[in-house]
Structure 1
Amino acid sequence: MSRTKLAIIGVGLIGGSLGLCLKAALGEKIHITGLCRTEESMRAAVECGAVDEASADLAAVVGEADIVYLSPPVLQIVPMVKRILPYLKHGAVLTDAGSTKGDVYEALHEILPPHVYYVPGHPMTGREKSGVTAATKDLFVHKAYVIIDDPSVPQEIKERLMALLKHTGANFTTLDLAQHDRCAAVISHVPHLAAAALVTLLNRSGDDLNSCLKLIGGGFKDTTRIASSNADMWADICMTNRKPIADALRELRTILDEVAMAVEAGDRQAVHDYFAASKERRDGILHDAEQKFDTN
């Protein structure tokens, strides 16, 4: 039986974790090549076992690949596909880990030939750390993994990809492009912006800054943890999901304005109801989700 040949473009946290879990599950049944920019990152990717071979040579990495996993920053996905396109073999399957889908999908469908297939994906997982040294083989386990079910892609191609991705242990779900980008804005993108806003609020506390720093505890650390994420990655995400993010931010601003008015007016009942409704909804959501999969 021939080995599956996988190329990972961007062997960082996500790409590296994919390589680790697939090598753990499949061993010699899969051969993984990785595209890395520096000698240091190549060495780290091979030494940790995320890939069998690492190179900066596009042809060497993707030339024989059955499946190409694209996990660079989202703004680099389309330029990268344009670079690797001459080396892709007939029947190659592209999938990605991009946090936004609409822009990438439209651009790739304009440039991909009929014999190369693209199945958009988004693993809803990550850490505030980045790079292959932060990769773990269980990063995807029990986490939501969105696959965009494109009817233009043959069923056998989807099945070939899913036969590989199932080894991640993720919980797969399907959404359409627009729905994915709207939901990702609410669930992931705006929370990252809000966490960064809380840090910015602290930085703007003026003469109280040093005193505020003395009071930092678990609450501030928990609510701002994701503000330590990679700035380039999140700037790219915002640029490729502009309208859903802007719409969600405006709705968040409306909510905060309503709370500010209630606080300023001394309306305890309104403030109490705000907290109570949020607690009830969050507890219910998490209870339901935890019956299906790990949400940690």
Structure 2
Amino acid sequence: MKRDVEALLAIVSEEEARIVDEWLKESRVPEHQRSAAQGEATQVLRELRDALAAGADPAMLEDPRWAGLNHVLEALSSSRAAQGRTAGDTSRFVLAFKRPVLALAQRRHAGDAALLMDTVWVISSLVDQMAQHTVTTYQLTRESVIRRQQEELLELSTPVIKLWDGVLAVPMIGTLDSSRTQMVMESLLEKIVETESALAIVDITGVPTVDTLVAQHLLKTVSAIRLMGADCIISGIRPQIAQTIVHLGIDLEGIMTKASLADALGLALERTGHRIVKAA
């Protein structure tokens, strides 16, 4: 083991209590968070010590022997991301570890300039890598949260509604893309099987524009519905959308269309043998 690594290992092994105390002061942890932060700092310090004792290379945090420390840093970053705290908060907390360790190295090796310089470099390099690892983990965690929220929003924005016996409706709101169309088709086809419905109304009143791609997605949805033995009505065909469809040369022949959801429901009831009359 190199002299600088031995020096760092000696510091973190023999000065745990002092390092943790100075670390919390440097990071300015609020009093109500001090207990949790103290536990996090102690755990990080012990995993770092164990990895150094096992011969892990301080210049390579990818070394398998750093797995324990990486796991603790990831847990620390993920928990703070879930609390809504920024990547900078986590990074600053980890970087605050540097000052107390550097101060102890200076105190111990002031008479050996070469060893002190090497030890300072090892400490700085290692702590910087630790801070960068927490930032990367934070970003991955936030991306995961955002993806999950997007999926939940998609599910909420494409509900399958039972309007009448044998009649389903899917109100489309926003832009249609491939992933959303796939989700709509899956939900609608499952509901058709579950309710044994004969008609499905796809309402595009909330779709701002219809282009060739949107029309292709609609046609795919209609085809899938027909393959299940049901029929489809597209409602919400506004004058502007009708003109766009004509200009694009999109063929909707054979597909029932209506200007409004109310008109589509009236047609669906008629097709299923129902009639609505006013009470006397």
User: How does the TM-score come out when normalised to structure 1?
Assistant: 0.24
Which one scores higher on RCO, CA 8 angstroms, separation ≥ 6?
1
Q: Which of the two has greater helix per residue?
A: 2
User: How does the TM-score come out when normalised to structure 2?
Assistant: 0.25
Q: Flag the structure with larger Rg.
A: 2
